[in-house]
Structure 1
Amino acid sequence: MSLISVRPEGLYCAQGDFYIDPWRKVETALITHAHSDHARSGSEHYYAIHSSAGILRKRLGQDIDLKPMQYGDKIKLGNTWVSFHSAGHVLGSAQIRVEHKDDVWCISGDYKRCADPTCEPFEVVECDTYITEATFGLPIYRWQSGATTAEQIYRWWQRDLERPSLLFCYSFGKAQRVLAELTQFTDKTVYVHGAVQALTEIYRQVGVNMLPTVPTSQTEKSYRFQGDLVIAPPSGHRSTWMKRFKRPQTAFASGWMAVRGARRRRGYERGFILSDHADWPSLIRTVKETKATTVYVTHGQNDVLSRYLTEQLGINAMPLDTLFEGEVDN
């Protein structure tokens, strides 16, 4: 590696003297998005897309020194030119383009290619070297549209209106996407876990249209949630929080539901395949469209994808080990 290198603190650009999604405290951190494996607290200065500011401040502290960026705007850091480009992953997610002389690198962060009403669509960034994620870097991972999955969720919810319908998914990104996709089918209020409500309000503040929500904590103790949809993070499953729901039907929305047996192992009655990451065809398509001649593959199935890119496409691709671990339920 040259323009970007791996240090104990994270991905480092010596020409610009900054880190991208560092996993330790640094002076200058460029953040691709606000999931906790990419946005860590303690750094002196942060750069991130403006629409992610509310969530970053909630997670890292209201008083962080945050310089908001607009998609496509260029700034000069050291001897480099840097710009942020939409990753289509979650609200405010970005790929980071770094240019030094005639060498252009792009660090993808996490990304997806399918439509999502809660965030800007993915932008292809042509570059010489691309650092791509590979969370779902196996051929078995192929997604339907979010609208199709939302219809499945709606039909499951309506199937049994005598019971509460508890849908578990990540509180940042996935929950808001479900709430937005479901507006095609209903305008009914959805009840949510407190962790979901706090982040959903931030989405509303930047104009994302979603179903109305009420925290479960604001209902009377005698309320039965009969026929209601309730959205909660995975940490709520089989917790004391669940005790107030009598005979609920349960489901989990995640890309991991594409793996046979995953739903049963996790203890849910139903699984819905819905991911905020690129599937296998999208990973390959993206690498091709960047026209990168060198590709580093990180996060997840990096060995499988890098081998495919090398052997099938003739690209100089190799795994890159980082501390990016995927969405953490918090």
Structure 2
Amino acid sequence: MLRPDLLLHPTPKGLYCPPGDFYLDPVRGAVDRAVISHGHSDHARGGHGKVLAHPHTLAIMAARYGDSFAKQTQAVEYGEAIEINGVTVWLSPAGHILGSSQIVVEHKGLRMVFTGDYKRRADPTCPGFEPVENTHVFISEATFGLPVFRHPPTDQEIDRLMRSVADNPDRTHCIGAYSLGKAQRVIKHLRLAGHDRPIYIHGSLEKLCEVYEAAGVTLGELRPATLEDRSKAAREAFRGEIVIAPPGAFEGKWAQRFPDPVIGFASGWMSVKQRAKQRGVELPLVISDHADWDELTDTVREVDPQELWITYGREDALVRWAELEGRRAKPLRMVGYEEEMG
């Protein structure tokens, strides 16, 4: 069987496959051929020669970077195997956001699974994570790779938001949520919880919400939160309503247009009280698009790989946990990947 480091190894541009001559999620400079796990900008950037990804990821990249984000694109459905220079590549759902994929790379009897980012709990906006059997090397993220991170049930956090809206009918609930994935997920959870009123969104969310709608994820009535009319009457119309925008939008003057706002933030990092306090968040919602500690460790046990490689986050703690379980593990110490909103 081929040595794992001969099939995939970290480089300054990203994980590189020498026999296939392609990169996984390259973020430092353009490459000739890239396989992309999902559409977040710290994994998917424009300018590459050839890009292979799930159709929904390609649609997201086109919405963010324009239709010419790559010289050539190839859409691959989940479970569809293709050959790149003799290396087999296929995708399995990662459960992170719409189109998110684990990238399975196979060559000379070796199967390696690169997760990108993933989560295990139910998400009504994308297919759930599917463990890949007979995995020799499992490459896992570790964004929340510390035992202190144990996220509460999503429905519990959405119920807190719904109760706050009901208890504060004269205030505007301004919820910070990452524009791709988190915002659409919060909107869909609100719909499933019975919130049938219009939801107001920041302009940066519009194209991405359209991509989700085109993929069959119904989000209900969405209205622009941008105010052309700055009159008091126009501002007062937002009382009792929910506004969703990127977190940074509420840190400047943009949020001041809404009457008596309740500032919320949907992120796994909201379990860290100091972070919520620093951002002036009145309603912290612990809603994450990443696996928490229990999901990370349970997934490794379920996949049961011969070797565990860890990247994107708290690598050392997960390596230590694996060693205590008698598992072979190592950190990749990849650079260039930003801390997402969680």
Flag whether TM exceeds 0.5 (same fold): yes
**Superposed displacement of residue 3, structure 1:** 1.1
**Superposed displacement of residue 310, structure 1:** 1.0
Could you say what secondary structure the match of 1:261 adopts? helix
**2:205 aligned to which of 196, 200, 208:** 196
Q: Deviations over 1:51-94 (max 9, x none)?
A: 22221112233123221110000001112110011000000000
Q: Does 1:295 align with 2:299?
A: no
Q: Could you tell me how far apart the structure 1 residues matched to 2:179 and 2:165 are?
A: 19
**Superposed displacement of residue 257, structure 1:** 0.8
Question: Residue 136 of structure 2 corresponds to which residue in structure 1?
Answer: 128
Q: Could you tell me how far apart the structure 2 residues matched to 1:200 and 1:177 are?
A: 10
**Superposed displacement of residue 234, structure 1:** 1.0
Q: Does 1:182 align with 2:190?
A: yes
Could you say what secondary structure the match of 1:106 adopts? strand
Q: Could you tell me how far apart the structure 2 residues matched to 1:218 and 1:68 are?
A: 38
Q: Could you tell me how far apart the structure 1 residues matched to 2:94 and 2:217 are?
A: 17
Q: Could you tell me how far apart the structure 2 residues matched to 1:149 and 1:201 are?
A: 25
Could you say what secondary structure the match of 1:2 adopts? helix
Question: Residue 115 of structure 1 corresponds to which residue in structure 2?
Answer: 122
Q: Deviations over 1:143-164 (max 9, x none)?
A: 2232222122111222211111
Q: Could you tell me how far apart the structure 1 residues matched to 2:6 and 2:182 are?
A: 35
Could you say what secondary structure the match of 2:41 adopts? coil
**2:277 aligned to which of 227, 250, 264:** 264
After the TM superposition, which of the residue ranges 227-236 and 149-158 deviates more from structure 2?
149-158
Gaps in structure 2 of 5+ consecutive residues:
none
Question: Residue 20 of structure 1 corresponds to which residue in structure 2?
Answer: 24
Q: Could you tell me how far apart the structure 2 residues matched to 1:217 and 1:301 are?
A: 38
**1:72 aligned to which of 79, 87, 101:** 79
Q: Could you tell me how far apart the structure 1 residues matched to 2:6 and 2:323 are?
A: 20
Question: Residue 162 of structure 1 corresponds to which residue in structure 2?
Answer: 170
Residue type at the aligned position of 1:270: L
**1:213 aligned to which of 216, 222, 231:** 222
Question: Residue 9 of structure 2 corresponds to which residue in structure 1?
Answer: 5
Q: Could you tell me how far apart the structure 2 residues matched to 1:220 and 1:13 are?
A: 54
TM-score, normalisation: structure 2: 0.93
Residue type at the aligned position of 1:164: T
Q: Does 1:54 align with 2:54?
A: no
Q: Does 1:44 align with 2:49?
A: yes
Could you say what secondary structure the match of 2:309 adopts? strand
**Superposed displacement of residue 116, structure 1:** 0.2
**Superposed displacement of residue 328, structure 1:** 6.7
Q: Deviations over 1:247-285 (max 9, x none)?
A: 211111100011132211111112010000001011011
Gaps in structure 1 of 5+ consecutive residues:
none
Could you say what secondary structure the match of 1:237 adopts? helix
Q: Could you tell me how far apart the structure 2 residues matched to 1:108 and 1:25 are?
A: 21
Question: Residue 255 of structure 2 corresponds to which residue in structure 1?
Answer: 242
Q: Could you tell me how far apart the structure 2 residues matched to 1:146 and 1:119 are?
A: 15
Residue type at the aligned position of 2:79: G
Report the aligned-residue RMSD: 1.5
TM-score, normalisation: structure 1: 0.96
Question: Residue 326 of structure 2 corresponds to which residue in structure 1?
Answer: 314
Say if 2:199 and 2:221, in contact at 8 Å, map to a contact too.
Answer: yes
Aligned residues: 328
Say if 1:295 and 1:315, in contact at 8 Å, map to a contact too.
Answer: yes
**Superposed displacement of residue 218, structure 1:** 6.0
Q: Does 1:88 align with 2:111?
A: no
**Superposed displacement of residue 99, structure 1:** 0.5
Say if 2:176 and 2:246, in contact at 8 Å, map to a contact too.
Answer: yes
Q: Could you tell me how far apart the structure 2 residues matched to 1:17 and 1:205 are?
A: 33
Q: Could you tell me how far apart the structure 2 residues matched to 1:102 and 1:218 are?
A: 59
After the TM superposition, which of the residue ranges 224-233 and 239-248 deviates more from structure 2?
239-248
Q: Does 1:30 align with 2:39?
A: no
Q: Deviations over 1:186-243 (max 9, x none)?
A: 2110111111222111111111022321111266433120111000101102212122
Say if 1:164 and 1:247, in contact at 8 Å, map to a contact too.
Answer: yes
Q: Could you tell me how far apart the structure 2 residues matched to 1:287 and 1:317 are?
A: 11
**1:150 aligned to which of 136, 154, 158:** 158
Say if 1:296 and 1:320, in contact at 8 Å, map to a contact too.
Answer: yes
Could you say what secondary structure the match of 1:274 adopts? coil
After the TM superposition, which of the residue ranges 142-151 and 228-237 deviates more from structure 2?
142-151
After the TM superposition, which of the residue ranges 173-182 and 230-239 deviates more from structure 2?
230-239
**Superposed displacement of residue 41, structure 1:** 1.6
